[in-house]
Amino acid sequence: MRSHFFLGFHYLFSRKSYRGLTLLKVTALTGIMVSVFSFLIIHSVMNGFSNHLKSTLRGFQSDLTIQGLNKDQLQKLGPFIKNQENFIEFEGILQTWDALNYAVHVKGINWNHLERGNLKIYYFPDIVHSQSKNPKILIGEELYGRFTQVFGDKNKVTLINPVGVLSPTGELSPTTGVVEIVGIFKAGFYDYDNAYVLMEEKDITGFIEAELNPNKLALWAWPGLSLKTIKEKVLTLCPECRVDTWEEQNQRYLTALNLEKIGMTLLLMMVSVITSLNVFSLVLLSVVSKNRDVAILYCLGAEKGWIARVFVMMGFLLGFLGTLVGLSLALVSIYYLKTYPIFLPSAYYLEFLPIELDVKILFFLLFLVPLVTMVVSLWPSYRVKKMSPIEILRNTA
């Protein structure tokens, strides 16, 4: 094995190669370096964005949302639950002072627990301490940005629940009321900031019928516990309950994100495979250019299979060195980008470029790329077996 390594390394970095072969070596090595570097950087950015999105979604919502669970059943879930909170929600309409209507999702929660979510809240000092008896609300930053003007008394808007209560005749009647905007919140996710309104749970009851909008229970599990296991436990205790995890509630976003990651990974892998074709050409030309060395090794008693493995080792070393350098450059770049982040325009809805290394991908590349270059080197390497040492020496004499 040492002799294979030594000869493969010698042929790879031999100074006696003609210029065309040297250029091909540089091209192949650079191609592997760039493809590995690009793969790790792009995957780290996508991984950082994915984790940021999941953190945002999980911060605004609870781990599990349950409807229909009673107190006795809830007590049996005690060992699994870190925090819990009741909430009510409905789809409504927000009508501003200038008669503009906005479809909103109204959520009634305990404002003392707002810190559980990753929310940035900005209160209007002159309004939040007012003596007004109107219900107070917080609206998303993007929704607030769509308002033409909200100043002074015009911070009061009308909230409409189209299916608020049941009339004596059994028909659904809307409920309306004046509410006061006391601040804005930023969840870090456009759909939340553009459509959600937060209201105190005690105030939202005036806009709903209890039978039409029953209380729901938000549960936060202890870190490390499987939400799937907790959901199965809840359904065992209460088969008629409706239980949704945060992943199920955001399945559309998570599925799109996973498909994007898979597509980008396949594309980058195709680039790496195309780059490995340079290795195929390099090993093939090396076999041809080193035919005199091959003939001499034959005469010294080397077996054809042994000589072929020398060129396979050459392809492996090329892939390994290219991968090692590419990974090193990528790790330095990732460290730099985490230390000195690139700030992004507000259109991206991110403060800075998210980047997070996945160690599994690092070892995956360190194993896969040299393996691919070694496999690609097999066919040109084993052409050595078809060579005749006598013919080679006669033609090169």
Count of CB atoms within 10 A of residue 167's CB?
A: 8
**Residues 6+ away with beta carbon under 8 Å from 117:** 59, 60, 61, 187
**Gap between the Cα atoms of 83 and 307, Å rounded:** 67
Q: Say if residues 198 and 185 touch (Cβ distance below 8 Å).
A: yes
**Gap between the Cα atoms of 248 and 232, Å rounded:** 14
**Residue that is written with structure tokens 């994100």 in the block:** 257
Model confidence, pTM: 0.76
**Gap between the Cα atoms of 52 and 50, Å rounded:** 5
Domain ranges across the chain? 2-56+253-396, 64-247
In tens digits, the chain (397 residues) has pLDDT values of 566 556 666 666 666 556 567 777 788 888 888 888 988 998 888 888 888 888 888 777 888 888 888 888 888 888 888 888 888 888 888 888 777 788 889 888 887 777 666 788 888 776 656 667 788 888 888 888 877 555 545 678 888 887 766 565 566 677 888 888 888 888 888 888 888 989 888 888 777 765 556 678 888 888 888 888 888 888 888 888 888 888 888 888 888 888 888 888 888 778 777 777 788 877 777 766 666 666 666 666 666 667 677 777 888 888 888 899 999 999 999 999 888 888 877 777 777 888 888 888 888 888 888 888 888 877 776 766 666 556 655 555 5
